[in-house]
Amino acid sequence: MIKELMKFGLTEYEAKCYLSLLKLEKSSALELCKSTGIPDSRIYNVLASLEKKGFIKVEEGVPKKYIPCNPEKCIENAFQRIVDDLKRAKEVLKELKKIYHEKKPEIEIINGKNKILENLEEIISKEDYIKIAIYRRDQIPPTKLKKILKGKKVKVIVGDEKLKKYFPEAKVDSRHFLHGVIVITKKAILLTPPISTKKKIAYIGFNKDSISLAEKTFNHLWEEAK
């Protein structure tokens, strides 16, 4: 029974003390020390905690007497405390999940065309201003990219004149062919390889230093583009 009571938030000493009081009906602290084996240096703290948790009442006098509360009511109250704690735990869990999901790994490898587009849409949807360099059209279709960028303020560099039909405002940089697609936002960067691969692949990073370096690279390319 002691272990069962401990499931309702009592310590081992508290459970022993309460069970002893149920048998004695009323008792002093000294009598409880003798019946439970709880050290006299601990008994008053145990009794104070039981009173706070609603398991006993105190009858003033010399000495004080301790009376057990109705077990049914005690268990109901203990159960309600557990329910309340679970509700609070759920609220805390919601906040922890937010923190967990916000914390992204520094670099992720994304495989597959659909996954790349999903991640691209996610990082772009959270920003108003995006910088993009497109040197290969086979990795992220320009039509899809244009659709995702709709309504956003963008600065675009393309690798050849043909891509300008999708992005008329873009600058052309045909010299730096060792790039794939570079997408830069304030919080993320997405890169595709400079070579064509059978399986579509991209890299997405959230490291501030990497984003800063990518921005510097983009700005340099922008200055040289026409």
Task: Dump pLDDT digits (tens) for 94-124.
Answer: 877 776 666 566 677 878 888 888 888 888 8
What is the predicted pLDDT for the residue at 201? 80
Mean pLDDT of 155-165: 82
What angle separates helix 29-36 from helix 12-24, to the nearest 10 degrees? 110
Q: Does domain 2-96 have CATH number 1.10.10.10?
A: yes
Q: How many H-runs (helices) and E-runs (strands) does the chain carry?
A: 8, 9
Mean pLDDT of 2-26: 90
What is the predicted pLDDT for the residue at 39? 92
Q: What residues does CATH 1.10.10.10 cover in the chain?
A: 2-96
**pTM exceeding the 0.75 threshold for the entire prediction:** no
Give the model's confidence band at 46: pLDDT under 50 very low, under 70 low, under 90 confident, else very high.
very high
CA distance 158 to 172: 5
Angle 14-19-22 from CA coordinates, rounded to 5°: 125
Angle 132-133-134 from CA coordinates, rounded to 5°: 115
Cβ atoms of residues 14 and 55 within 8 Å: yes
What is the predicted pLDDT for the residue at 178? 54
CA distance 79 to 95: 25
Q: What residues does CATH 3.30.870.10 cover in the chain?
A: 107-224
Cβ atoms of residues 53 and 9 within 8 Å: yes
Compute the mean pLDDT over every residue in the chain, rounded to the nearest whole number. 83
Mean pLDDT of 113-140: 81
CA distance 212 to 61: 74
Q: Which of 125, 127, 137, 144 is CA-nearest to residue 192?
A: 137
Give the model's confidence band at 82: pLDDT under 50 very low, under 70 low, under 90 confident, else very high.
confident
**Under CATH, which number does the domain 107-224 receive?**
3.30.870.10
Q: What percent of the chain lies above the pLDDT cut of 70?
A: 91
CA atoms within 13 A on the CB side of 200: 13
